[in-house]
């Protein structure tokens, strides 16, 4: 009986520690989320406007001019932004599933670049080779520069005509979606409803495209990294909240069970004492 009580007390203490740890991680994630949410909102508006201008610009350039001497290749560069750390639910697994489905339907992505933590070691479906890996925990500006450097080098060497990025998009605290977005894609070069735009490009359209394209790739990568970071923190907050609530439920049942066994032990000791006293009185008679 005493041994059972000691074991239950250890379980109660361990459950309390889990609840405290979950609360600490939740508070840290909340702090990081609040710091990044405003930046995400700003970047979302900015990249939408920039993309709108760039597509209007692209529609004034023929496909051959944009991809001169690139007709012999249809390869692509594929970035995958994974969560940096754990304790964030299943968003990493959902992203892997999304990427596997996408790559199975688009076989032209020759260069795969995973960015993140433990998920970068997972082998993608179909044995897609990894071109280069990056740790997301380093300085973001330095990371963006390294990722942009790969894209510029491959594009300049005429090895790719497509660039896409997969990441977890933040919709709300409860919803984070795995998405794949095209940064440069042949589909974006078809005519859209932008023929009647009022923009006046003073610089040569081809030169302007060459100047703006690297910057557009840079802000698209930044936007994906920020989105992934905010989604990771939001998912971690909800995961830790659920963990804390579950710990409190377990703690409630363990405490009741402990009190029940403790009361049974007290009752047993009282009955034992009464029996001993009764036996002594009978002996004395």
Look up residue 29 and give its DSSP letter: H
Query: Which pLDDT value is given to residue 71?
Result: 44
Can you give the CATH number for the domain in which 215 is found? 3.40.1380.10
Whether 118 and 178 share a structural domain:
yes
Residue 176 within any structural domain of the chain: yes
> Does residue 183 form part of some domain?
yes
Supply 9's token pair: 């007390």
Question: Does residue 196 lie in a domain region?
Answer: no
pLDDT of residue 245: 92
133 and 249 fall within a common domain:
no
Query: Model confidence over 147-195: pLDDT tens digits?
Result: 999 998 888 887 888 899 999 999 989 999 999 998 887 654 444 444 4
Phi (first) and psi of residue 88, to 5 degrees: -130, 35
Q: Are residues 151 and 233 located together in one domain of the fold?
A: yes
Residues lower than pLDDT 70 in the chain: 1-3, 59-73, 123-127, 186-201, 203, 277-285
The parent domain of residue 134 ranges over: 25-190+202-239
Same domain membership, residue 144 and residue 74: yes
Q: Is 201 helix (H, G, I), strand (E, B) or coil?
A: coil
Instruction: For residue 171, tell me if it sits in a domain.
Output: yes
77 shares its domain with 159: yes
Claim to verify: residue 222 and residue 262 sit in the same structural domain: no
pLDDT at 280: 54
Query: 101 and 30, same structural domain?
Result: yes
213 shares its domain with 258: no
Give the Cα separation of 203 and 208 in Å (integer).
6
Residues 12 and 50 in one domain: no
Beta bridge partners of 267: none
Report the alpha-carbon distance of residue 105 to residue 93 in Å, rounded: 19
pLDDT in tens, 239-272: 999 999 999 999 999 988 888 888 887 777 777 7
Q: Distance between CA atoms of 4 and 285, rounded to whole angstroms?
A: 39
Burial class from Cβ neighbours inside 10 Å (0-12, 13-18, 19+) for residue 185 reads middle
Q: Are residues 181 and 268 in the same domain?
A: no
Tally of domains within the chain: 2
Claim to verify: residue 208 and residue 266 sit in the same structural domain: no
pTM over 0.75: yes
| 180 occurs within a structural domain | yes
Distance, in Å, from the CA atom of 245 to the CA atom of 19, rounded to the nearest integer, reads 8
Is position 195 within any domain?
no
């Amino acid at each position: 009986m005493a041994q059972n009580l000691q074991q239950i007390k250890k379980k109660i203490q361990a459950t309390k520690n889990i609840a405290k740890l979950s609360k600490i991680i939740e508070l840290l994630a909340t702090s990081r989320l609040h710091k990044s949410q405003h930046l995400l909102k700003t970047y979302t508006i900015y990249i939408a406007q920039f993309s709108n201008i760039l597509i209007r610009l692209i529609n004034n350039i023929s496909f051959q001019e944009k991809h001169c001497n690139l007709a012999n290749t249809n390869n692509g560069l594929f970035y995958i932004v994974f969560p940096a750390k754990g304790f964030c639910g299943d968003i990493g697994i959902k992203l892997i599933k999304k990427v596997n489905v996408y790559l199975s339907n688009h076989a032209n992505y020759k260069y795969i670049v995973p960015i993140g933590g433990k998920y970068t070691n997972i082998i993608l479906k179909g044995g897609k080779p990894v071109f280069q890996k990056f740790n997301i925990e380093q300085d973001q500006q330095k990371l963006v520069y390294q990722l942009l450097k790969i894209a510029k080098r491959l594009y300049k060497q005429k090895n790719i005509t497509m660039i896409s990025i997969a990441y977890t998009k933040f919709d709300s605290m409860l919803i984070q979606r795995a998405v794949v977005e095209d940064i440069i894609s042949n589909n974006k070069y078809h005519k859209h409803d932008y023929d009647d735009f009022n923009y006046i490009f003073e610089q040569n359209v081809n030169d302007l495209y060459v100047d703006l394209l690297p910057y557009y790739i840079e802000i698209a990568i930044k936007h994906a990294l920020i989105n992934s970071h905010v989604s990771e923190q939001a998912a971690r907050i909800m995961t830790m909240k659920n963990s804390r609530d579950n710990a409190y439920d377990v703690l409630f049942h363990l405490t009741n069970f402990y009190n029940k066994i403790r009361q049974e032990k007290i009752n047993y000791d009282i009955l034992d004492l009464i029996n001993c006293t009764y036996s002594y009185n009978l002996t004395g008679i």
